[in-house]
A and B are shown apart, each in its own frame.
Chain A
């Protein structure tokens, strides 16, 4: 009974919601009698996916790996920045306004700048934008996690003569993991947006963003909507990869 309830709650309810959503969409297009060049309906998406299936796989992979690479870079640099800011108040006070200012710049304006500086290096450009847009929440959350560590945590080990590095590995780092994963969930979505931004604003023949752009040029609404659905799917996959990692590494922070 318990298991059946779980199945209903976790599978059947969301699935029903999706079906209702698709039916409403189909109905609105049908009742208004919109042609394909004005609005696509769910029944057009299947054929569009099938027609461009090879491109979807190829470009989907481009978008996926470049997002992951950008996010990986964010984790490395963001954690490092967060650590430095978490441990040194002087550096934190120095870096904070710079980071906030940089984060405030709309990244769409950075895209052409990066594309110009690193002209031709499309993969690097895209990874770089994904990184630039997503490292901020990681840096902030790690620095806050470290700077708000209760002094007792440090004193337990320090009173035994432990080094700062030991305190970091044994206490500060694992203690910060829940905050880190909270930020990573935000960052993964941002990195994904970054990748697509580059692919659409500076098209270079790669990624789902490029496929979307070519759909737009040809007024191929079924293709454009198919790309949107594919992007949503990829976004969900990426998000749940992070959720799974969180369960493994910071599952202890969860309370039922």
Chain B
């Protein structure tokens, strides 16, 4: 586990028409073991944020630290899951999950890799599907495999880029609960990018609202729901009020208020 710290991070893409600012002076801190959600209008630069933290691209200005050390490139202590849970269709489910271990721990015995993958698949209730082909799985199941793959190498930091965005409402709620049980087992610092306010509240300890592009941190709030959560918690007066506040902030971010 290690904390995520962004300090004055700005990023712009260079285009033929000059620099195109995406992020503007973002400050963010996810304490060790905490879960933070980032919400904001479409196209505000949320995905760029994940690519910066995973070291895939470098920020134009500012510093990003994981566990106190500045990131200069991709690190094996980071796990990532995307909205599109791409699978290696020619491999079995368990072999899809072990993929990161082949890069991070090439010398680990195959048996050990598979045991670790099977343990995670069991956690997400995919026991019995280990040897199936990904093409035999539903969208929700593929996303669960993708989550296992992002956790298999015991990363300290997990970055989730709208992983539940393309799923139907019921599957999504099911995966939220799975996410909670994964968090209970795997000690990890999480950053979730999402469009779904209920999702952000249900899963995290803190929600950050970004403004429209170029994105700035516009609002932040703690979520006091405790570690044990059920879907019913989303329908209490307290949560409803919190969701209304976030809704309002999103409308400000979209420039509608």
Residues of A within 8 A of B (CB): 150, 152-153, 155-162, 166, 170-171, 174-175, 177, 250, 252-253, 255
Contact A153 B86 (CB under 8 A): yes
14 contacts between A and B (CB under 8 A): A152-B82, A153-B86, A155-B80, A156-B80, A156-B99, A156-B100, A157-B103, A158-B56, A159-B54, A159-B55, A159-B78, A160-B74, A160-B76, A161-B74
Q: Does B135 contact A (CB under 8 A)?
A: yes
Contact A252 B74 (CB under 8 A): no
Distance in Å from the Cβ of B100 to the closest Cβ of chain A?
6
Contact of A155 among B73, B82, B149 (CB under 8 A): B82
Contact B99 A170 (CB under 8 A): yes
Render B56-89 as a binary contact track against A, CB cut-off 8 A, 1 for contact.
Answer: 1000000000000000011110101010101011
Cα distance A51–B153 in the bound complex, in angstroms: 69
Contact A166 B103 (CB under 8 A): yes
Nearest opposing residue in chain B for A161, CB measure: B74
Residues on B with C-beta less than 8 A from A158 are 56, 74
Q: Does B137 contact A (CB under 8 A)?
A: no
Within 8 A of A (CB), among B80-135: 80, 82, 84, 86, 88-90, 99-100, 102-104, 133, 135
Cα distance A250–B76 in the bound complex, in angstroms: 30
Residues of B within 8 A of A (CB): 51, 54-56, 73-76, 78, 80, 82, 84, 86, 88-90, 99-100, 102-104, 133, 135, 149, 153
Distance in Å from the Cβ of A233 to the closest Cβ of chain B?
33
Cα distance A226–B192 in the bound complex, in angstroms: 70
Contact A161 B75 (CB under 8 A): yes
Nearest opposing residue in chain B for A162, CB measure: B103
Nearest opposing residue in chain A for B53, CB measure: A159
Distance in Å from the Cβ of A249 to the closest Cβ of chain B?
9
Residues on B with C-beta less than 8 A from A157 are 99-100, 103
Contact B104 A160 (CB under 8 A): yes
Residues on B with C-beta less than 8 A from A162 are 103
Given contacts A159-B55, A161-B73, A161-B75, contact A255 B100 (CB under 8 A): no
Q: Which 8 A-B pairs have the closest CB atoms?
A: A252-B90, A152-B86, A161-B74, A159-B54, A160-B103, A162-B103, A152-B82, A159-B80
Residues on A with C-beta less than 8 A from B80 are 155-156, 159
Contact B149 A156 (CB under 8 A): yes
Nearest opposing residue in chain A for B86, CB measure: A152
Contact B89 A159 (CB under 8 A): no
Distance in Å from the Cβ of B55 to the closest Cβ of chain A?
7
Distance in Å from the Cβ of B36 to the closest Cβ of chain A?
19
Contact A171 B88 (CB under 8 A): yes
Residues on A with C-beta less than 8 A from B86 are 150, 152-153, 156
Distance in Å from the Cβ of A171 to the closest Cβ of chain B?
7
Residues on A with C-beta less than 8 A from B76 are 160-161
Contact B78 A170 (CB under 8 A): no
Distance in Å from the Cβ of B4 to the closest Cβ of chain A?
14
Cα distance A152–B90 in the bound complex, in angstroms: 17
Distance in Å from the Cβ of B156 to the closest Cβ of chain A?
13
Residues on B with C-beta less than 8 A from A152 are 82, 84, 86
Contact of B56 among A159, A250, A253 (CB under 8 A): A159
Residues on B with C-beta less than 8 A from A160 are 74, 76, 78, 100, 103-104, 153
Contact of A161 among B89, B90, B103 (CB under 8 A): B103
Given contacts A153-B86, A160-B74, contact A170 B102 (CB under 8 A): yes
Cα distance A159–B77 in the bound complex, in angstroms: 9
Contact A252 B56 (CB under 8 A): no
Distance in Å from the Cβ of A255 to the closest Cβ of chain B?
6
Distance in Å from the Cβ of B113 to the closest Cβ of chain A?
14
Cα distance A81–B86 in the bound complex, in angstroms: 27
Cα distance A252–B100 in the bound complex, in angstroms: 21
Distance in Å from the Cβ of A217 to the closest Cβ of chain B?
52
Cα distance A155–B83 in the bound complex, in angstroms: 13
Contact B78 A252 (CB under 8 A): no
Cα distance A166–B106 in the bound complex, in angstroms: 12
Cα distance A152–B56 in the bound complex, in angstroms: 12
Contact B135 A255 (CB under 8 A): yes
Of the candidates A153, A160, A177, the one having the most CB atoms from chain B within 10 angstroms of its own CB is: A160
Distance in Å from the Cβ of B49 to the closest Cβ of chain A?
14
Residues on A with C-beta less than 8 A from B89 are 175, 252-253
Distance in Å from the Cβ of A11 to the closest Cβ of chain B?
30
